[in-house]
Every structure is written in C-alpha cells, then in structure tokens.
Amino acid sequence: MQQESMFSSDGRDIGALIDGAWVTSSDSFGVLDKFTGEEIARVSQASAEQVSQAVEGAMRAMSESELAPFERAQVLSRTAELLATKRKRFSQILTAEGGFTLTDAEAEVDRAIVTLNLSAYEATRLTGEIVPFAASPGAHHRLGFTMRFPIGVVCAITPFNSPLNTVLHKIAPAYAAGNAVVLKPSAYTPLTASLLCETLLEAGMPPRFISLVHGSGDTVGSYLLDNPSIAFYAFTGSTGVGRIIQQAAGLRRTQMELGSIASTIVCKDTNLDRAIPKIANASFRKAGQVCTSVQRLYVDRKIADEVCDRLIEFTATLTAGDPRDPSVRIGPLITEEAACRTQTWLNAAIGRGATLLCGGERDRSVVTPAIIKGVPEDTSIWCQEAFAPLVAIRPFDSFSEAIDSANSTPYGLSVGVFTQDIDLGLRAARTLRFGTVQLNEASSARADVMPFGGVKNSGFGKEGPAYAIREMTEERLITFNP
C-alpha cells in the first residue's frame, strides 16, 4: 500500500520510503512518547522484499543519474533552509520520541543545519592530490594525480540519541560524494528520520538517492547486512553490534562509532568557574545519553572537595522531568528499563561502599542527575558504559595515575583535560589514547566541522563532513608518462 505522505491524517501508519514512495507492510511497531509512555505512532517494519527493493533502487540511482557536485550542494543547502522553516515540527518530534528537552531539541536542529551546510560546501571541493613523482629516481618526467569517485550504495544505521544530526552526518556527506543512501534509523526514534527524508525530497533530492527502512536490528538490520550490493556501512551504536556489522561487511568498507567510557581530568590549577558548568552539562545533557558524556571524573585530590561541592551546587539547578517544560534541563531516558538499570547500578555501587552525593532518584523513565564517589573499579558504573545521567568522581594524587586509569578501559572515543599547564596539556595529548583529546573542555564538546571518531573498541573512521566524504569515496590514481 502506498501513501502520499509519511503521515496519515492521524499521524500514524508511517511506512518505508522506496523509490520516492511511502509504503507500508503488514507488520508494525509502536513509537512511544518517552516521558508519558503513550503510543504516538505506529511504524511499518520493512519486509525483506522491501529492503531488497530499496537497495536495488539505490543501485539504479547510481547507474542512471550522475549529478554534478554543485547540484548535490544545492539540494543540501535547500534542505538546511527547509529545516530552519520546520524547526518547530522537528523539535516537537524530537521531544516526543527522543525525550529531548526543548533546549536539546533546538540544539539538535541547529547542529543539523550546520552539518548540511558543511556537507554542501564539501561537495564542491572534493578533489584528489598531485603525486610528486619527482621524488622517485627516473620518474621525474611522469605526471600523476588522484581522483575521487562515489563508493556506491551507503547503508546508514543510526542511534536514538541523535536522531537528526547523527543521521545527517551519514546521509549528507554520502550524498555530497555522489552516493545513494539506504537509512535504517533506531526503532525508538523513527519519526525524525521520516520527516527528514520527506524534507530531502522536498529539497529536490532525486528519489532513489534516499531510501528509508524501519525495523529492528535483528530483522531489518540483518536484511541489510545480507545484501551484497551495499558498498559501505556507516554505523553509530554499541560495540557489540559494531562487531556483527564488521563481520558481515567482510572486505566492504565501514565507518564505526561505537561504545565509550568517557573521562575528564581536572588538575589543581583549573579555572573552576569555567570548568564546572562545562563538566555538568557534558555529564547530564540528553540525560547522559551521549557517547562522550562524562562518566569518569578524575580530580586532583587537592581540590576534590571543592569540585564536589561546586558540582553538586550546579547540578541542583538542573531540573529533571517533563521535557516539554521550558525549565527542565534533564529529560527521560529512552526507556523505563534503561532508567531502572541506572538505579540498579547506583544501588549496587552504594552497596559496595560508594557514596551518592546527589540525585539518582527515579520517576518512571526520568532519573535525577547523580554524582557518586568512591566507586569500586569492578562495579558496572565504573567499568561499563552507563549512558545515563550519572558521573563517578575519583581523586588522584599524580597526573600519571589519572592518565593510566583513563586509558585502562577498552574504549577510546573522547577525553577532556582541564589545566593551565601547557606541559601537562601536551603530555595528555601524547599519552591519552583517545580519538579526541580536549584541553580545557569536557569530553563531550563537539563541533560538527571537526573529525570525530574513536580508537580501540570505540571504532574507527571519521565523522565530520570533510572527513566522512573521503571515507565514502574511492580514490583512483591517474598517471601520464610523456
């Protein structure tokens, strides 16, 4: 059954987008308001046949249409303009299905507009390089340069915690490079992606260059992994799922932004007036459901008590509750189950001797921001990714001690270091094994223009339009031998 729009008159029965048409299937799942728990829409789960049709359509787009870079840039720029006009609608959906506070929803839309415009710019400046043949004996008469070409069909599999901007960090650079995209958003947050795809078509994107399929990873995700026509997988999510995708991809290329236990180190010379608000916001925005949220906070023992007191005082200003309330800064977690897990982890740590300094109270899916100290190293709060509004504080006596502990996790996505000492800053940059080392910033401070990616079990490859567009192209060497 085909639909003229992704939404029916009552906002329900949202389908897949295939060859520019919205189609439904016999199977569907509900989308819940993350604060009230009420069902706000039903979404059709794509069948194996529909996934195959989506990939086939994307392949035809690549073979039948060769859009000039400036044409692709125009589509992305127009999408940014349309996004600005639809700001209120996107914000409403982000708040309903994602639990975003009004502040977080507005920020998500603002960043998405930046990502689109950056990608539009990169579409017009994607070039190769001149090869210095004169460096090789006897080859000084040769000329050579590289060119970049679209890699093929890109499959984007995206998470619930950034259902607009992270999606665009996959789609926009892929399309800027000339690729067609098949998108599978999180089943928790499919509505934002649906509205985005509708907006891309409205901006003039050729229909087969964007396909959208909804469903669980076990079903629709498996259909996508089994399809040999997909050339590239761009994934943000857990390390466990990343391993499954990488194994299925084989020799096909991937970009993986995976799990994290993010740390921030506060040295004794830190300007706390600047640092405390940054640390609190980085710990608790989006209810701590950010891969770079501060989970481990290392503080020089000489200022540990002051940092605890000031962080508690600032955190007390961050109201948790209904994300539609303008005064609320901490909304719900993605499910009540996630909120229960958070409370269980806190209680387990307290039972092992940790001290809860504030927060940790649960009302359905909302958990008040928690600060805890004295957490044993083998507890879940310390050694597993929390993805919740909590931060564990640990004093340190030497900078080496803090660095060694931060490096001890299997992950390496982002770390923050606060210090006025340039020697300590450079030492941190050289010795902290993370994809990003932020000096005088918390671990969760990202500008969309920068290269973003991890090492170790946090994945590989880079987001950021200028970097992702190169990940999603093939480089070809051209030589002339006069």
Q: List all residues 6 or more positions away from 321 whose beta carbon is below 8 Å from its beta carbon.
A: 328, 330, 331, 363, 366
Both 252 and 266 in a single domain? no
Of the pLDDT bands very low, low, confident and very high (cuts 50, 70, 90), residue 262 is: very high
Average the pLDDT over each of 4-18, 81-95, 289-303, 426-440 and give the range with the smallest value.
4-18
**Residue 478: Cβ-neighbour burial (10 angstroms; 0-12, 13-18, 19+):** exposed
What is the percentage of the chain residues whose pLDDT exceeds 90?
A: 96
Is 336 in a helix, a strand, or coil?
A: helix
Q: Which of 97, 108, 198, 257 is catalytic?
A: 257
The answer to whether residue 351 sits within a structural domain is yes
What residues make up the domain containing 95?
Answer: 2-258+460-478
Report whether pLDDT(6) > 60.
no
Report whether pLDDT(2) > 70.
no
Report whether pLDDT(278) > 60.
yes
**For position 87, which CATH number holds?**
3.40.605.10
Looking at per-residue pLDDT, the higher value among 448 and 6 belongs to 448
Whole-number Å distance between alpha carbons of 190 and 93: 10
- The Cβ of residue 469 has, within 10 Å, a number of other Cβ atoms equal to 24
Of the pLDDT bands very low, low, confident and very high (cuts 50, 70, 90), residue 13 is: confident
Say what the pLDDT of residue 64 is: 86
The answer to whether residue 87 sits within a structural domain is yes
Question: Using one digit for the tens of pLDDT, what is the confidence trace for 409-443?
Answer: 999 999 999 999 999 999 999 999 999 999 999 99
Both 126 and 241 in a single domain? yes
- Parallel, antiparallel, or unpaired: how do β-strands 16-18 and 21-23 relate? antiparallel
Both 196 and 171 in a single domain? yes
What is the percentage of the chain residues whose pLDDT exceeds 70?
A: 98
The answer to whether residue 15 sits within a structural domain is yes
- Span 358-379, average pLDDT: 97
**Residue 431: Cβ-neighbour burial (10 angstroms; 0-12, 13-18, 19+):** middle
Both 63 and 155 in a single domain? yes
Both 38 and 126 in a single domain? yes
Both 253 and 391 in a single domain? no
Question: Using one digit for the tens of pLDDT, what is the confidence trace for 304-324?
Answer: 999 999 999 999 999 999 999
Both 293 and 169 in a single domain? no
Rounded mean pLDDT of the chain?
96
Both 252 and 299 in a single domain? no
Q: Which of 397, 391, 371 is nearest to 267 (CA)?
A: 397
Q: Which of 442, 388, 386, 397 is nearest to 415 (CA)?
A: 442
Number of domains present in the structure of the chain: 2
The answer to whether residue 453 sits within a structural domain is no
Both 387 and 405 in a single domain? yes
Both 68 and 136 in a single domain? yes
Both 131 and 190 in a single domain? yes
- Span 106-128, average pLDDT: 97
Say what the pLDDT of residue 399 is: 98
The answer to whether residue 455 sits within a structural domain is no
Q: Which of 155, 197, 291, 308 is catalytic?
A: 291
Report whether pLDDT(169) > 70.
yes
Q: Which two tokens stand for residue 281?
A: 């916001």
Is 44 in a helix, a strand, or coil?
A: strand
Which contacts of 135-141 are long-range, i.e. CB under 8 A and separated by 24 or more positions? 141/481, 141/482
The maximal CA–CA distance of the chain, rounded, in angstroms, is 77
The answer to whether residue 454 sits within a structural domain is no
Report whether pLDDT(165) > 50.
yes
Q: Does residue 291 have an active-site annotation?
A: yes
Report whether pLDDT(8) > 50.
no
**For position 419, which CATH number holds?**
3.40.309.10
Report whether pLDDT(60) > 70.
yes
pTM score, whole prediction: 0.95
Report whether pLDDT(11) > 60.
no
Report whether pLDDT(97) > 70.
yes
Report whether pLDDT(254) > 70.
yes
Average the pLDDT over each of 8-22, 111-125, 142-156, 279-293 and give the range with the smallest value.
8-22
Both 189 and 275 in a single domain? no
